[in-house]
Structure 1
Amino acid sequence: MTDRLPLFPLSSALFPGLVLPLNVFEERYRALVGDLTALPEDAPRRFGVVAIKRGQEISPTGQDGLDAGPLAGLGDDPMEALYGYGCVADAAGIAERDGGGYELVATGIQRFRLVSVDASGPYLTAEVEDVPDEAGQGAGALVTEVVRTFTAYQKRLAG
């Protein structure tokens, strides 16, 4: 099953469970956050974070908050400019700044695979497919050794 999400390309990746503070000042991302805040109060405010493979996070015109267009800094083909996997982010805290822009805190929720990217709007949107987490092999066998080593470390710190 696929889903459609607004995209926020960054020069770094987001992983499930991690917290991501964002300073939103470019017009395209102001529009994205504006659309998120327009959702009903109890609705999830989710967007996709995907790492940039080729290109830049901030376009030269976007540094002034001007409309840089959805593909600014990424070239003509977003599927080539972006890595094929990203993470759904939930924007729990959004604060509007004086003079425009937003400060927000998002948390990584679920990995996804990019199916397609649409640049026809004010910001990129994508059709994404969830990537389920798979249990690693052998992690359970390491638990006892990790706990033993950490306990020894704590004892040494305590003197």
Structure 2
Amino acid sequence: MGAVSLLAMIHQPAAHADTPKFPDLSGYTPVNTQDYAIAFDNPGRQPTMTDYFLTPSGVVCVIDDGGAACFGNNLPSVPALEDPNSRVSYIDTQKGLYQSSNPGYVNGTTIRGQQIHTLPAAHSITVEGTVCGVSNSGTTACKDPQGRGFIVSPSWTGWLPKV
């Protein structure tokens, strides 16, 4: 084995034996998406509706634009950010885990004065082919129509490029 091959093996990420398996969401009770819709002002037109929910542990999640994301400075197992007032962590079906600007419109469990509802255990929400669900153990899992997903569990947060 050459030195380059050995070096590549050393720097290659270890297999994620502790990566949770994506749950089967098909048996979860679907919720009415209208109960999770938040209206955003759209001057001169009808408000834009976007579906948000809270995980049982209080993480804010959104289903929009063909995917899903959960965000905040409370994602389990994600290191705290140096400046949590201007930056937050996101886990997204399309991009994985990243940091971005703090969406100032979220204030705790409300968005512009509208309450974000918790998605209960053993329930799912589906919007335009993207589905998210919460297990009885508090794990939130989302996947988009392209089969990309993520899991936010009490002990692990991570992206799954293929579910």
- For the pair shown, the structure with the greater C-alpha radius of gyration is 1
Larger RCO (CA within 8 A; separation ≥ 6) = 1
Give the TM-score, by structure 2 length.
0.21
Structure with the larger helix share:
1
